[in-house]
Chain A
């Protein structure tokens, strides 16, 4: 964000805590973003540090585009493309390693080596068995699960062929991926190949580099992330609508506050269970508290909210602010989006930071390693640590009195069920309402917070503009939390914020105009919902025919780039805000923003103004409606027998 001070958040609870942090002399990401300006060359994607001859700054100026080269001779295009797909690799690796962790736990559970875990959703297990050709017959769930788990685990290291999960995509999309040569062979292989190709002196054709980025991203969305979502559903239950509360006001003055932050639900599920243990509650009371209050942060929050109704304390930029309340007795973290500074902020209060993953340690934090073979015991130790820290609270406690209701847990299976019940579950009502124009289209709005932009403003502004224009919004991750905090995730929000058509559908079905679909790996649920819309019929033969669009208005992580890339590769027009990582190179940016449409049916766009970005999405939706011939209301004609005979004769 160029120049000047910006107001830091649209969320009042966050603003209160930003002020408190200043009073307490605590520095947060909001302060650091103001103090530290971005490296303009790096932000534009024009810096190459992939070898010891660099970093090479390859800026392109008008009229000198061809002259710009790194020491090795790499052009500005090569460098921008390398940097971009390395971001894809980082994001795809993060999601997919999450998926691998879930798969390993799933297999351990199936083999009886992970006490405390069980199969909670047999139906989802049967789904995967049907899809992957695993014999069901009279076999036990455990036997089926072992076969399913082994197939899933093999997907990560597979070297040939293509991922089994690709068969879920619309047929036309599968053919397109094969034709373009981007069907992933194995999840890990495509990521490794990016690292190889971007090493000095390997792939130096930006078209070819970006193509590999597409391949790895598909391996994320339709592979690693999808496997994570599916196996988590089997282990912990497929989400269904549940009422929760969101924002820093969910913390309690008189109870032990334990925040679970990160991404994997493996440990958090156990902590939620242990916190209800009468022995633990007794211990909490013996320390002077009235109970144990578990809340979530970031994507872990989405996971435990939609399965247990556990409240959400906040999204990415609220992690430090939660500690600033002075009321958090412990914050337990696993992987991804965890700021190292939480340990520093915690030093100013009494909060214990507990790391649990061998992959993610923080100096100054207490490490209690998560072991799936002994998960319950680990969870007990963590909850006990929080309880024992309760008496150490200082007097400087201030919990903002702000929390909002939100309904979460709209898996694509649940949407199917909600639109027709058990006996006529269907996406037909959604498609019909898109065809008749009550719903203009569907937008997937997802992604992070970015301290370079006003907290939550991009998310909420964009989503309000979309629903006002009758675009149904489906959301995950930090966008979901921002929408929850803004009160957009209750059915009543339809009457206040949605256009007349969308509001009428929301009223009929009893859903909010913004549907919470989970955490960032659960963007795979959005792919499945889009596929169901295609397969139900009437809106074209491929995801790229649908009147849909995607966005990440406050993105910051490499995971967001990978998500955006697999949305685009699946045929979705996708707009990112705040900044764009190839903005320094017109040629690469044009390829991503324009050429990709002809190749994949979906393309990228960059627009930092959320209202303008929403209108880009609406324009794209209208373009698709026009192509489908549903842009104008048509007169209904009741055919009599004579007219039908004439029709048959044609």
Chain B
């Protein structure tokens, strides 16, 4: 990968050269790539993920912003 060099400055500091942003093609290809849900194979794993990853709706101990003591 080729990096672009960018010059950055900050208040009270001299200009420095840093590696610039890199945007790789970043496009998924190949069958199955990106299909993350297939990584969970058993029903138990799926239920566990729902309770943890999707805790907003399925986690029993989730205590989100909307349940706080003092409303925003």
Tell whether A pairs with B.
Answer: yes
Interface locus among A240-248, A328-336, A394-402: A240-248
Q: Please state if A171 and B50 are interface contacts (CB–CB under 8 Å).
A: no
CA distance A168 to B43 in the complex (A): 23
Contact A541 B21 (CB under 8 A): no
Collect the chain B residues with CB atoms within 8 Å of residue A142's CB: none
The CA-CA distance from A538 to B35 in the complex, in Å, is 30
Which residue on A lies nearest to B39, using beta carbons?
A422
Report yes or no: B22 in contact with A507, Cβ–Cβ below 8 A. Answer: yes
A65 at the interface (CB under 8 A from B): no
Q: Would B67 and A171 count as touching, CB distance under 8 A?
A: yes
Interface with B: A478-486, A489-497, A575-583, which one? A489-497
Q: Assess whether B66 is in contact with A542, with CB atoms less than 8 Å apart.
A: yes
CA distance A425 to B66 in the complex (A): 19
0 or 1 for each of A576-612: is its CB under 8 Å from B? (1 = yes): 0000000000000000000000000000000000000
Min distance, Cβ A295 to any Cβ of chain B, angstroms: 18
Question: CB-CB < 8 A to B62: which residues of A?
Answer: 535
- Tell me whether A535 and B64 are in contact (CB under 8 A): yes
Q: How far, in angstroms, from A640 to B64 measured CA to CA in the complex?
A: 27
Question: In this complex, which of B24, B26, B50 has the most chain A Cβ atoms within 10 angstroms of its Cβ?
Answer: B26
| Number of A-B residue pairs with CB-CB distance less than 8 Å in the complex they form | 117
Residue of A243, A494, A507, A535 touching B27 (CB-CB under 8 A)? A243
Report which of B21, B26, B56 forms a contact with A510, defined as CB distance below 8 A. Answer: B26
Partner of A536, one of B39, B43, B56: B56
Chain A positions within 8 Å of B40 at CB level? 123, 422
A131 within 8 A of B: yes
The answer, yes or no, to whether A554 is at the interface (CB within 8 Å) is no
Q: Are A122 and B27 in contact (CB under 8 A)?
A: no
**B57, CB-defined interface residue at 8 Å:** yes
Known: A238-B37, A491-B26. A126 touches B43 (CB 8 A): yes
A390 to chain B, nearest CB (A): 27
Quick one: which of B3-59 are within 8 Å of A by CB?
A: 21-29, 34-37, 39-40, 43, 46-47, 49-50, 52-54, 56-58
Chain B interface: which of A154-162, A265-273, A409-417, A459-467? A409-417
With A492-B23, A510-B26 known to touch, is A240 a contact of B56 (CB < 8 Å)? no
Residue in A240, A413, A492, A494 whose beta carbon sits within 8 Å of that of B35 in the complex? A240
- Among B34, B50, B52, B68, contact of A130 (Cβ-Cβ < 8 Å): B50
B1 interface residue (CB < 8 Å to A): no
Residues of A within 8 A of B27 (CB): 243, 405, 407, 490-491
The SS class assigned to the B binding surface is loop
Minimum CB–CB distance from B27 to chain A (whole Å) comes to 4
Given A123-B49, A126-B46, A241-B34, does the pair A131, B26 have CB atoms closer than 8 Å? Answer: no
Is the pair A537, B47 in contact by a Cβ cutoff of 8 Å?
A: no
Number of interface residues of B (CB under 8 A): 34
Is the beta-carbon distance between A409 and B65 smaller than 8 angstroms?
no
Whether the Cβ atoms of A417 and B53 lie closer than 8 Å is yes
Nearest B residue to A629 via CB reads B72
Contact check, A240 vs B36: say whether CB atoms are below 8 A apart: yes
Chain B CB within 8 A of A539 CB: yes
Which residue of chain B is the closest to A539 with respect to CB atoms? B65
A422 with B49, Cβ < 8 A, contacts A536-B64, A537-B65, A541-B65 known:
yes
| Cβ of A487 to closest chain B Cβ, rounded Å | 12
Measured CB to CB, the nearest residue on chain A to B29 is A243
* Given contacts A422-B36, A507-B23, A126 and B66 within 8 Å (CB-CB): no
Cβ–Cβ contact A495 & B53, under 8 A: no
Q: Is A360 an interface residue when CB atoms closer than 8 A count as contact?
A: no
Q: Which residues of chain B have C-beta atoms less than 8 A from A409's C-beta?
A: 34
A458–B23 CA distance with the chains assembled, in angstroms = 27
Q: State whether B66 touches A122 (Cβ < 8 A).
A: no
Asked if B50 and A123 make an inter-chain contact with CB atoms under 8 angstroms apart, the answer reads yes
Q: Is the CB of B65 within 8 A of A540?
A: yes
> Contacts A491-B23, A535-B64, A535-B66 given: A425-B52 contact, CB under 8 Å?
yes
Task: Give chain B nearest CB distance to A54 CB in angstroms.
Answer: 48
- Min distance, Cβ A147 to any Cβ of chain B, angstroms: 16
CB-nearest residue of chain B relative to A628? B72
Write out the residue numbers on chain B whose beta carbons fall within 8 Å of the beta carbon of A240.
Answer: 34-37
Complex CA distance for A242 and B29, rounded to whole angstroms: 7
A413: nearest residue on chain B (CB-CB)?
Answer: B54
- Residues facing B in A521-560 (CB within 8 A) are 531-532, 534-542, 545
Give chain A interface residues in 141-181, CB to chain B under 8 Å. Answer: 168, 170-172
Cβ–Cβ contact B36 & A534, under 8 A:
no
Q: Are A414 and B67 in contact (CB under 8 A)?
A: no
Which residue of chain B has its CB nearest to the CB of A125? B46
Choose among A172, A414, A416 the residue that contacts B66 (Cβ–Cβ < 8 A). Answer: A172
B69 → A minimal CB distance (Å): 12
Q: Is A11 at the interface (CB under 8 A from chain B)? A: no
Identify which of A122, A172, A242, A538 contacts B46 (C-beta below 8 A): A122
Contact A417 B36 (CB under 8 A): yes
Cα-based distance from A534 to B56 in the complex (angstroms): 9
| Residue in chain A with minimal CB distance to B41 | A122
Closest residue of chain B to A503, judged by CB?
B21
| Chain B nearest Cβ from A630, distance in angstroms | 11
A420, B67: Cα distance in complex, Å:
23
Check if A416 sits within 8 Å of B54, measured CB to CB: yes
Instruction: Jot down 15 A-B pairs with beta carbons below 8 A, ordered by A.
Output: A123-B46, A127-B57, A130-B58, A238-B37, A405-B27, A422-B39, A425-B52, A490-B26, A490-B27, A491-B23, A491-B24, A492-B23, A492-B26, A510-B24, A535-B57
- Minimum-distance CB pairs A-B, first 8: A537-B65, A425-B53, A491-B26, A535-B56, A535-B64, A243-B27, A123-B46, A241-B34
Extra A-B contacts (19), CB below 8 Å, given A243-B28, A535-B65: A123-B40, A123-B46, A126-B50, A127-B58, A136-B43, A171-B67, A240-B37, A243-B27, A405-B27, A416-B53, A417-B53, A422-B36, A494-B23, A535-B56, A536-B64, A537-B65, A537-B68, A539-B65, A541-B72
